[in-house]
Structure 1
């Protein structure tokens, strides 16, 4: 549509000034580029300098009740170490950054389509009858997007952002699991070292006694050699246990986000298998329901499916064209020309059939994946619960065997002191008790591992309220404050 209107001469300079003013107004909202190059030495130095004594970390831990009172000293138990890990572990920063990326996607999805500004400029050689040689104008291209299309795009971005926020909680749970697993391994390795040391002391005493008897001809060399081989095996086992102690401390330091030397300066309170809750009091159906409600992958899969529903709706909305209008004004050799054009995309060759088919197929794929995920969770929960209950039963039996061996060793001690048993019988009884103690240590290690596996499968704390989610919420608030402060600091750095 083109409308011509004869009017007084409009100098091209006025249009140029108006255009310049529009560009200046738009330019005031531009942001300036700030380079932030990665410096390998600097980042390495920052990682190496991380410490459990950092004031910011201690302030964060006090805000979450560790220590409970200002006058108390901080006990580095499981909860304290998990708090430190949630604050320092680099995986948490990655998860927060990925969530920020999805939040930025929400802003992008909500943006409306900017209008285009065309400035036609021509100079004519024909200037008869006093006409101006210039033709200059302003023509806008305005796109009016369908409301349903924009709403679907915004909803999809919001759901993806919500899934990324749940992913932050999932990473926090994984960090907590890494700390607990490393602590359990450290407790097992230390207990195993102590138990092996006690067994070695008994076998060494037995070796000395057997050696004296063999010298006196009271015992065959075979018995002495068999005891010597047992002693060597135990010493090798002790060396392996000490290596496992170091490895467990290194894994614990990595889970927290510090170097192993920073961990060597604190005393760690290790978990006790005797304090674990009785999972047999929870029916298997309730455990499965808990997992299907609490697991982060279930919740993320639901949000991912809802986001795909929005994506399908967006492709269907694209079947209907947007409205493109092009109003403008042109000064054409003394004529004022007002014009209004319009344009549509004609669906001659396709109308988004391929995109719609892909979106529907992706939705069916997510449906199948969700059912598969649910089935896998149910199976893993049942297996983890059965394993935990079996390990508890084994631990009870090991406790009973240890108590029986201790009673027998005490009985032989009294008989030895009364002269009714010789020293070798007494040492044999002590060795049996030490072996029963080692079996109890191994059963507790398996019980700790089974308990951790059950909690990881449920993604829920069995012996306390879910404090991890509250800690993550606080970290998110602090990250929001830091981003807001950074944005405020750059407000004065925009281009004029």
Structure 2
């Protein structure tokens, strides 16, 4: 900085510059330790792929040891209660949500600081009127910008809203994973049940084929009739392979969600694992009840949290349009003279042109966009829930007809064919045909049960709440999937696991 002085006296000393610089440097040396007390040091945390892979492999295989310590009603069968515990302690998706939650809490816990003050010092050079007597002196200045609006508090409010949104996201992720667990668990049970039924149907088809071959040798059946049973036996074998493939896929999907090895999971009997739906008539859900249920839908809760962030962000952008008050002071000396000059100043930017118009407009647009998304999502959830409820009613009625009427009629046909064979009014081929028809209806009934359970799972996911009562569940309104205390416990478990992995 160069300043021109009107006159330079002969009394200026050559050491004025040195003294001024020493004073400024001394002040800076005294202030820096005060600020450096809060400085943080860097600590490296390497991501070793071999260690991570080894740790995750050990966690995936640890279920076998856990099963040796726990007792079960069915040896080796995975109960839903155990699957829910594994989800809370092992789910990678839940771990990611908890990590985001902790990060947001840490950021919200740090209050927005005041702006840092600024210090300037340096030399000034003065010139005499005849440009023949240059002199040097030093200057020192201090300035501090103080926000006039509540911008700091508004920014803290935004961070707090983001922490609340992260907590809502973690709880929503927990609930969504719980519903997804129910879906995959039911799919695994039904797929295992289908494989067992297909194995029984294959054995029954093999028995019918052997019987038909015996009838051919006895001369009471033709080769064409025998070829039909041979074809059915081959088809049942291929259907069993398809059922086994579907069971392996369902087993793998469930293991992926629980972060365990698929071979360690075994399904209990479907009849003992599912108690039945809570709704007696899902198609007759009242509109008010449906609307009340979707209020707690995880996706809607997330959007409401994002809308609250947008509200606070708009408040922050509005507060940014007000300028800061700058307090300043300066100390300098007259060139060539011993007297010192102390100056105090107040400065403020006049917001004539820049009033943060862009930031405010974007914040308002973001708020309106979230409102539109929320309304669209409500319509979508209502439509999906209504359709899923109607589909569940239809699939339930289909299963009831097959179970109460069609299956009963097929069993009666087998009984009549057996009685006719004993009375001599019908042949063995009629009995075999009736048994084959019964097997097809049993397979069709199994598929109808699968469709009913799938429709129930879709209704659960549409409403964001459980409806089917599974064995091991104390209540469908289990608060541990939405309670903040459970979330904190899950966060502590995740933090402990990370600490072990670092060691």
Q: TM-score, normalised by structure 2?
A: 0.80
> In structure 1, which of residues 412, 429, 434 is the aligned counterpart of residue 439 of structure 2?
434
- 1:353 is matched with which residue? 357
| Matching of residues 285-304 of structure 1 within 5 Å | 285-304=287-306
Q: CA, structure 1 residues 472+213, in 2 after alignment: closer, same or farther (shift >3 Å)? A: farther
| Matching of residues 264-279 of structure 1 within 5 Å | 264=265, 268=268, 270=270, 272-273=273-274, 275-279=276-280
Give 1:255 deviation, angstroms.
Answer: 0.6
> Residues 205-233 of structure 1: CA distance to partner in whole angstroms, max 9, x if unpaired?
22233334445654443333233222211
Q: Which runs of 4+ in 1 moved over 6 A?
A: 9-12, 54-58, 71-75, 123-126, 481-487
1:22 has 2:31 as partner: yes
> Residues 347-401 of structure 1: CA distance to partner in whole angstroms, max 9, x if unpaired?
3443222222222222222222221111111101101111111111112112112
Verify the 8 A CA contact 1:402 1:437 in the aligned structure 2: yes
1:194 has 2:196 as partner: yes
Give 1:415 deviation, angstroms.
Answer: 5.0
Give 1:251 deviation, angstroms.
Answer: 0.8
| Matching of residues 252-331 of structure 1 within 5 Å | 252-261=254-263, 263-264=264-265, 268=268, 270=270, 272-273=273-274, 275-280=276-281, 283-330=285-332
Verify the 8 A CA contact 1:214 1:224 in the aligned structure 2: yes
Q: CA, structure 1 residues 369+343, in 2 after alignment: closer, same or farther (shift >3 Å)? A: same
- 2:13 is matched with which residue? none
Q: CA, structure 1 residues 57+91, in 2 after alignment: closer, same or farther (shift >3 Å)? A: farther
Q: CA, structure 1 residues 484+444, in 2 after alignment: closer, same or farther (shift >3 Å)? A: closer
Give 1:94 deviation, angstroms.
Answer: 1.1
Higher mean C-alpha deviation, range 217-226 or range 29-38: 217-226
Distance 2:394 2:498 in 1: 53
Q: Secondary structure at 2:150's aligned position in 1? A: helix
Q: CA, structure 1 residues 225+362, in 2 after alignment: closer, same or farther (shift >3 Å)? A: same
Q: CA, structure 1 residues 54+171, in 2 after alignment: closer, same or farther (shift >3 Å)? A: same
Distance 1:341 1:449 in 2: 74
> Residues 170-206 of structure 1: CA distance to partner in whole angstroms, max 9, x if unpaired?
2222322332222222222222122222222232222
- 2:138 is matched with which residue? 135
> In structure 1, which of residues 443, 456, 479 is the aligned counterpart of residue 491 of structure 2?
479
- 1:111 is matched with which residue? 112
- 2:371 is matched with which residue? 367
Verify the 8 A CA contact 2:90 2:258 in the aligned structure 1: yes
Distance 1:222 1:74 in 2: 46
- 2:473 is matched with which residue? none
Higher gyration radius (CA): 2
Distance 2:205 2:278 in 1: 36
Unaligned 5+ segments in structure 1 are 1-8, 127-131, 488-496
> In structure 2, which of residues 78, 85, 88 is the aligned counterpart of residue 86 of structure 1?
88
Distance 1:326 1:412 in 2: 107
- 1:459 is matched with which residue? 464
Q: CA, structure 1 residues 471+242, in 2 after alignment: closer, same or farther (shift >3 Å)? A: farther
Give 1:450 deviation, angstroms.
Answer: 1.0
Give 1:73 deviation, angstroms.
Answer: 9.8
Q: CA, structure 1 residues 327+291, in 2 after alignment: closer, same or farther (shift >3 Å)? A: farther
Verify the 8 A CA contact 1:169 1:469 in the aligned structure 2: yes
Aligned length: 463
CA RMSD of aligned residues (A): 3.7
Give 1:286 deviation, angstroms.
Answer: 4.2
Distance 2:102 2:179 in 1: 24
Unaligned 5+ segments in structure 2 are 1-15, 128-134, 470-475
